[in-house]
Amino acid sequence: MDHCVLSNGTVWLSAPKTHDIDTITEICQEPSIGEWTTIPVPYERENAETFITDIVETGWAGRSPTWAVRLHADGPVAGMIGLAENDASAAEIGFWLGRAHRSRGLMTQAVSLVCDFGFRTDGMALKRINWRGFVGNYASAAVARRAGFQYEGRSRLGSVQRGARRDHWLAARLSTDPPGPATGWPVEFDHGHPR
- Are 107 and 143 in contact, with CB atoms under 8 Å apart? yes
Query: Buried b / exposed e across 110-130, counting CB within 10 Å, b at 16+?
Result: bbbbbbebbbeeebbebebbb
Please classify residue 85 by burial: count the beta carbons closer than 10 Å to its beta carbon, then call 0-12 exposed, 13-18 middle and 19+ buried. Answer: middle
- The parent domain of residue 53 ranges over 6-191
Q: Judging by DSSP bridges, how do beta strands 90-97 and 128-134 pair with one another?
A: parallel
DSSP state, residue 89: T
**Mean predicted confidence (pLDDT) in 152-167:** 95
Question: What's the total number of domains in the chain?
Answer: 1
Q: Mean pLDDT over all residues of the chain?
A: 95
Cis peptide before 31 (omega within 30 of 0): no
What confidence tier does 193 reach under pLDDT thresholds 50, 70, 90?
low
When mean pLDDT is compared across 1-5, 12-16, 71-75, 111-115, the lowest value belongs to 1-5
pLDDT of residue 80: 98
Q: What is the pLDDT of residues 176-192, one digit of tens each?
A: 998 889 999 999 898 76
| 104 part of a folded domain | yes
Q: How far apart are CA 186 and CA 195, in angstroms?
A: 10
Task: Determine contact, residues 170/156, Cβ cutoff 8 Å.
Answer: no
Mean pLDDT along residues 37-43: 95
Integer Cα distance of 12 and 4 in angstroms: 11
Which residues have a Cβ under 8 Å from the Cβ of 25 and sit 6 or more positions away?
A: 43, 44, 45, 47, 48
Residue 93 falls within a domain, yes or no? yes
CATH number for the domain harbouring residue 176 = 3.40.630.30
Residue 1 lies in a domain: no
Model pLDDT for residues 63-95, shown as the tens digit of each residue = 999 999 999 999 999 999 999 999 999 999 999
What pLDDT does residue 192 have? 65
Burial of 172 (0-12, 13-18, 19+ CB in 10 A): buried
Indicate whether 56 belongs to any domain: yes
